[in-house]
Chain A
Amino acid sequence: MAQHLWQGLAAFGSLKVLGLLLTGVFLGVFMGVLPGLGVAMVLSIMLAFVYHLGVTSAIALMLGTQAASYFSASITAILLNSPGAPESMATTFDGHKMAARGDAGKALGISASATAIGGLVGCAALLGLLQVVDYLPNVFHPPEYVALIVLAVILTATLGTDSVTKAILSAALGLMISFIGNDSVTGDYRFTFGIPSLYGGISVVALALGSFAVPQMVFMYGTNRAITADTPGGSIPDFRRQVREGVAESLRHWFLLLRSAVIGVLCGVIPGIGGFAANFLSYGVAQQTSKNGQKFGTGVAEGIIAPEASSLSKEAGSLVPALGLGLPSGLGMVLFLAALSILGLQPGPGFTAKHPVLPYTMLWSVAIAGLLGTTVGLVAAPALARVTRVRGPLLFPFIVGLAVVGSFASDASMTTVVEVLCFAFVGIILRRLRYSLAALAVGLVLGPTFEDNVFLTKQIFGASFLERPLTVIIFVLCIVVLVAQVIRARRSGGIASEAVEEAARGDHRLLDIVVAAGFVVGGGFYVNAATHYSSQTRLLPLIVGSVATAMGLLRLTGLLVHLARSRRRAGAGGEAPTDQPAGLLDGAGIPASDHPGGPSSPDGPTPDGAPGEDGPSPDGVSGGVVRAAGRGGRSATAVVAPASTGIDQRRSPAYADPAAAPGVDAVPVGSLAAAQAPAAPEPQQDMRRRYLREVAGYAWVLAMVAAAWLFGFRWAIPVVVVLYGLFGVSYRSQRQRIAFAVGSAVVMGGVVWGIFDLLHLTYSGVIGG
């Protein structure tokens, strides 16, 4: 082994190989930051050149590109809440919150160090796993896949929400969407409405761009502010110090880092689970086991370390099934295997025996590129971090334009662009109402794998799957986690807490009711459609659709009952109704004293007080109480200062996050901090203006998609960008207006034409064609 390890490293003594590795690193870093396009596009272009490269050179170039892209995909996730790749979705939860707080450098430092160290841990693990590469993938059978996916869903379901009902509804929605397309058990097409583009299912790229990047831009357009306050366009103060702090923070959580890296390796080793699950699983495990679990989602270091440490280590782990079985665990690995195939190599059983040095060359490529990629990324980060100081509307045309073009480029289909538009709409509403986007994403991505393995388990094992020790262990783990979650929920107020949460956003109540009704009606239609399929094809859609309908009904009933009670109270003149400015109220029309935790508990933060329910949320609650509860589970409430207190809400750190604007993520600093530093609520008029601007923002997205559909991307995107520049943004001077309109159109025009030429894409629109 030592000899092969050395020979693998010696390959980089060649200037050609080293040069290609460095080329890959630079390409990976700079392409990885582009939402939707990213590294897959680069790798697919590379396939054309692989013919002319040697095996070692191709490995260095392709793995170098891929390994270096992981950190850069997180840069946009942290700075813009727009993951460069679907695998960076979980990084947005805390990474972006920390950046919004003004600690972008620290967040990037944590991310870079966790990615690099995680990658090294992954490579060390790979070193051992290579010795058993032919056996390891065979350890996991369909029942283990089922159990692991259940665990993943349990761990991640409640991320981003504090309501069990909404977590279930989010996961159900993700699963329902995942059933669209070809059913690999029966071969039937489901819920495609005869649209061939849907036969292959819904695009994960569309999910990432639609539910994260586009809503973020719409919210920023609504607030008309930068991600972080102060000195727009200026540099981040003490960036280097922040980065150093971030690195130190990672090292302080060495055990979490190590554990997350191991989770990443395991997820990589299990074919079909992939990097997406690694990201969420690590985050979920960290949240469940951390003393600060309740602060997750508010910008805590552990919330960045966990997903980031698993990202590159997963890549190392995924080489095991790729080499041992020829089984890729993601698009990047698919393209890498295709390159090997072009070079006449067929990974699979016996590959490592035939080519004993190549796996070590791959290992070194991942390790070196991971380190170099994070270094290059950090060097570039101060410049990139400036985008957090740029006003949202100025970023809007670039990010939305890239999302629209990138989604089309991902599979040359207009349907994917429309999917982005739909996910954006759904994402905006669900984020505002604090549904769990994590559960939605996990359901959508892992749904097909879950269904396949449920049926494979049934066909191969029947009931005897419960005799498999590994399956039982994982299911027991599921139960333990579930019980822990229930206990935690009960301690923090349980159902009562949820009832309070329901009422927390008075001005969203109607929307909440509409969405709940949507689940009932939509779920009903879904179930009805499912009944037309064969018994095997419809089984899981029927179950999931029924659950969604039932939970939607439950939620709708609860909301209506609460509305009736609140109106009755208002009519009786007792307490103020929920949606009116309130003094010592739970921000919801429920007297603080009614709350299980009592009006003022010193015990610290609460999970349901997490990312900004009430208080300083710009959601329109024009006064109220920030609730917080400590580990003891007691709730605390704090009076939110009314606007008249004179506190400049726009300067308030708690108010600084435009992503917070939608309510879901409104209090980036954590409920306790928010309670301690009350900020003034947004006046009703400002709130309405912001909502109108958000609608206008979404209309611009719609205009871009519609124009691209009608006239093709090459002309439509620059033209819409010009129009946006002229009429969609406010400026100090007319000269600025024209300069931005022309400049942004030229940039986006160049990007669109470049991408279309590079990828030989052809779409000239229904009219343009």
Chain B
Amino acid sequence: MKMKRPFAATLAAAMGIAVAGCGSSSSHSSAANTSATTAANSGSSAGSSSGSVAPDMSYFKGKTITFIAPDKPGGSFDEWSRLLAPVMGQYLNATVNVENVPPGNTIVGQNQLAASSPDGLTIGWLNVGEDVADVVKGAGGINFSLSKVGIVGAPGFGQMVLVAEPNSPYKTFAELQKASGTVKSLDVTKGTGDTVERVLLGAYGINAKIITGYESSKDLAAGFLRGDGQIAEEELAVFQNAISAGKAIPLWVSEAVPSQNPVYAQMKSVPTLQQLIQSNPPQGQQQADAVKVLESITQVAQVVAAPPGVAAGKLAALQAAMKYAMSQPSVKAQALKESLVPTFYDAQQTTQALQTDQQDAQSLKPYLK
């Protein structure tokens, strides 16, 4: 299953709540703002550290860095980690080893990262998007605060796409909005795909019956192809072949698809979220806020981070290494091959994204029941 997108500000809020042991929605709200601000400050300092603090490159020479991928080999985190590790290692004159920690749907890996020694020799992924949804829904598991971790950067994780079955009456998003009856929409109940699907359909007032029970995005794609439902939403890579073969009609895509993508021709006229917001803004403030959060979720992908307490110079070196890796044409080319999106948000940009969206976290709640 392709991994989920983060919404770091909300997670910071949520984690604050989790740590404080609060449960009510009102406390969520107040704690959210406080925590998210702290996270943003931390992130800000982390982001600025890459610019103002000299990277301590010499520290890493000859050392071994552990890169925690909180999924099994072959998962998106793992794919990105294995792609970045050798290049980051080369930049730092260090060895970067990928360690897969898949239990607990990424939670154990994230907790392990946060609890690791702050010597700068452990980095890993935070799957904040899914954690936000879990906390908003009242689940838990994360036992650290994002406000304490050091942000290294955030690469892209692939566009989300909403597709319709060719035999359904829906050929465009506008037609879907006008649907008279209930639309059968397929869903994997875990991950960012679930959040995006529920918020998008809910905020645009589409009367959908969400059919759940698929264990992974690939199971969902299989269900879609055999006609379990009329529409489905997941990462583009999951439906790429179906779109190419004319077995799925794209109605909406989170971000523009690069021209190198094999289905660029089919996708170039499909509205992106930004286009949709401009041409067809959702009605109501709460809906608009939710879609704004959605935009953030689909832009800022999972975040690479270091545990709390890593010295600024070391963190700056890690940030520089990741930036270097993400700028390499070979990395970009390989990422495209693996249906990963080689866009990159550095620590500062990631932090800004977190700050921008922190106010609207609770707007997701009505859709994530």
B72 at the interface (CB under 8 A from A): yes
Contact present for B74 and A47 (CB under 8 Å): yes
Contact present for A342 and B219 (CB under 8 Å): no
CA distance A262 to B252 in the complex (A): 42
- Least CB separation from A197: chain B residue: B103
Q: Determine how close the nearest CB of chain B comes to the CB of A158; give it in whole angstroms.
A: 29
Contact present for B215 and A761 (CB under 8 Å): no
Q: Which residues of A contact B225 (CB under 8 A)?
A: 137-138, 325, 349
Contact present for A196 and B107 (CB under 8 Å): yes
CA distance A182 to B108 in the complex (A): 14
Q: Which of A392-400, A412-420, A599-607, A632-640 is near enough to bind chain B? A: A412-420
Q: Which residues of A contact B339 (CB under 8 A)?
A: 341, 346
CA distance A412 to B141 in the complex (A): 18
Contact present for A187 and B137 (CB under 8 Å): yes
Contact present for A327 and B219 (CB under 8 Å): yes
CA distance A200 to B75 in the complex (A): 15
Which single member of B105, B213, B214, B229 contacts A199 (CB below 8 Å)? B105
Q: Which residues of A contact B100 (CB under 8 A)?
A: 44, 411-412
Contact present for A186 and B222 (CB under 8 Å): no
Contact present for A342 and B338 (CB under 8 Å): yes
Which single member of A196, A349, A455 contacts B242 (CB below 8 Å)? A349
Q: A194-B140, A200-B102, A326-B241 are in contact. Are A760 and B66 (CB under 8 A)?
A: yes
Q: Which residues of B contact A452 (CB under 8 A)?
A: 213-215
Contact present for A137 and B244 (CB under 8 Å): no
CA distance A415 to B219 in the complex (A): 27
Contact present for A189 and B222 (CB under 8 Å): no
Q: Determine how close the nearest CB of chain A comes to the CB of B62; give it in whole angstroms.
A: 17
B97 at the interface (CB under 8 A from A): yes
Contact present for B244 and A338 (CB under 8 Å): no
Q: Which of B188-196, B283-291, B303-311 is near enough to bind chain A? A: B188-196
B221 at the interface (CB under 8 A from A): yes
Q: A196-B104, A460-B211, A762-B99 are in contact. Are A328 and B79 (CB under 8 A)?
A: no
Contact present for B79 and A272 (CB under 8 Å): no
A184 at the interface (CB under 8 A from B): yes
CA distance A695 to B184 in the complex (A): 56
Contact present for B73 and A456 (CB under 8 Å): no
Contact present for A413 and B241 (CB under 8 Å): no
Q: A413-B101, A456-B213 are in contact. Are A343 and B108 (CB under 8 A)?
A: no
CA distance A459 to B99 in the complex (A): 39
Q: Which residues of B contact A455 (CB under 8 A)?
A: 212-213
Q: Which residues of B contact A341 (CB under 8 A)?
A: 74, 79, 337-339
CA distance A331 to B75 in the complex (A): 12
A344 at the interface (CB under 8 A from B): yes
Number of cross-chain contacts by CB at 8 Å: 175
A188 at the interface (CB under 8 A from B): yes
Contact present for B212 and A325 (CB under 8 Å): no
What is the interface size of chain B, counting residues whose CB is below 8 A from a CB of the partner?
58
B268-287 contacts to A, CB under 8 A, are: none
Contact with B along A315-328 (1 / 0, CB 8 A): 00000010001111
Q: Determine how close the nearest CB of chain A comes to the CB of B181; give it in whole angstroms.
A: 16
A515 at the interface (CB under 8 A from B): no
Q: Which residues of A contact B219 (CB under 8 A)?
A: 271-272, 327
CA distance A140 to B228 in the complex (A): 11
Which single member of A44, A137, A449, A760 contacts B222 (CB below 8 Å)? A137
Which single member of A138, A343, A350, A760 contacts B245 (CB below 8 Å)? A350
- Least CB separation from B111: chain A residue: A196
Q: A200-B103, A761-B99 are in contact. Are A346 and B82 (CB under 8 A)?
A: no
Which single member of B97, B218, B223, B228 contacts A326 (CB below 8 Å)? B218
- Least CB separation from B95: chain A residue: A760
Q: Determine how close the nearest CB of chain A comes to the CB of B94; give it in whole angstroms.
A: 13
A671 at the interface (CB under 8 A from B): no
Contact present for B108 and A413 (CB under 8 Å): yes
Interface size class of A (residues with CB under 8 A): 35 or more
Contact present for B108 and A196 (CB under 8 Å): yes
Q: Determine how close the nearest CB of chain A comes to the CB of B208; give it in whole angstroms.
A: 12
A487 at the interface (CB under 8 A from B): no
Contact with B along A183-209 (1 / 0, CB 8 A): 111111100001011111000000000
- Least CB separation from A335: chain B residue: B74
B224-248 contacts to A, CB under 8 A, are: 225-229, 237-238, 240-242, 244-245, 247
Q: Determine how close the nearest CB of chain B comes to the CB of A671; give it in whole angstroms.
A: 42
Q: Determine how close the nearest CB of chain A comes to the CB of B214; give it in whole angstroms.
A: 7
Q: Determine how close the nearest CB of chain A comes to the CB of B189; give it in whole angstroms.
A: 4
Most buried by B among A141, A199, A411, A449: A199
B334 at the interface (CB under 8 A from A): yes
Contact present for A184 and B215 (CB under 8 Å): yes
Q: Determine how close the nearest CB of chain B comes to the CB of A541; give it in whole angstroms.
A: 15
B9 at the interface (CB under 8 A from A): no
Q: Determine how close the nearest CB of chain A comes to the CB of B124; give it in whole angstroms.
A: 12
Contact present for B338 and A344 (CB under 8 Å): yes
Q: Which residues of A contact B99 (CB under 8 A)?
A: 412, 759-762
A209-267 contacts to B, CB under 8 A, are: none
CA distance A607 to B18 in the complex (A): 56
Which single member of A187, A196, A348, A351 contacts B189 (CB below 8 Å)? A187
Q: Which residues of B contact A327 (CB under 8 A)?
A: 218-219, 221-222
Most buried by B among A48, A138, A140, A338: A338
Q: Which residues of A contact B347 (CB under 8 A)?
A: none
A111-147 contacts to B, CB under 8 A, are: 137-138, 140-142
Q: Which residues of B contact A759 (CB under 8 A)?
A: 99
Q: Which residues of B contact A272 (CB under 8 A)?
A: 215, 219
CA distance A197 to B244 in the complex (A): 39
Q: Determine how close the nearest CB of chain B comes to the CB of A82; give it in whole angstroms.
A: 24
Contact with B along A342-376 (1 / 0, CB 8 A): 11101111110000000000000000000000000
CA distance A349 to B97 in the complex (A): 35
A337 at the interface (CB under 8 A from B): yes
- Least CB separation from A139: chain B residue: B226
Q: A271-B219, A348-B221 are in contact. Are A453 and B241 (CB under 8 A)?
A: no
Contact present for B79 and A342 (CB under 8 Å): yes
Q: A328-B218, A412-B99, A460-B211 are in contact. Are A334 and B66 (CB under 8 A)?
A: no
Which single member of B74, B107, B139 contacts A188 (CB below 8 Å)? B139
Q: Which residues of B contact A552 (CB under 8 A)?
A: none
- Least CB separation from A458: chain B residue: B213
Contact present for B244 and A350 (CB under 8 Å): yes
Q: Which residues of B contact A189 (CB under 8 A)?
A: 139, 141
A448 at the interface (CB under 8 A from B): yes
Contact present for B103 and A184 (CB under 8 Å): no
Contact present for A342 and B337 (CB under 8 Å): yes
Contact present for B190 and A182 (CB under 8 Å): yes
CA distance A194 to B111 in the complex (A): 13
B88-127 contacts to A, CB under 8 A, are: 97-105, 107-108, 111
Q: Which residues of A contact B103 (CB under 8 A)?
A: 196-197, 199-200, 411-413, 415-416
A51 at the interface (CB under 8 A from B): yes
CA distance A350 to B241 in the complex (A): 7
Most buried by B among A338, A348, A448, A455: A348
**19 chain-A/chain-B pairs, Cβ below 8 angstroms:** A48-B82, A182-B105, A189-B139, A199-B108, A326-B241, A335-B74, A341-B74, A341-B79, A349-B225, A349-B241, A350-B245, A413-B101, A448-B215, A452-B213, A455-B213, A456-B211, A456-B228, A459-B209, A760-B99
Contacts A338-B73, A456-B214 aside, 20 further interface pairs with beta carbons under 8 A come to: A43-B73, A47-B74, A137-B222, A186-B189, A187-B194, A189-B139, A199-B103, A325-B222, A327-B218, A334-B72, A338-B78, A341-B339, A342-B337, A346-B237, A348-B242, A413-B101, A413-B108, A456-B223, A460-B184, A760-B97
Q: Which residues of A contact B (CB under 8 A)?
A: 43-44, 47-48, 51, 137-138, 140-142, 182-189, 194, 196-200, 271-272, 321, 325-328, 331, 334-335, 337-339, 341-344, 346-351, 411-413, 415-416, 448-449, 451-453, 455-456, 459-460, 759-762
| 4 nearest CB pairs, A to B | A338-B74, A348-B241, A344-B337, A187-B189
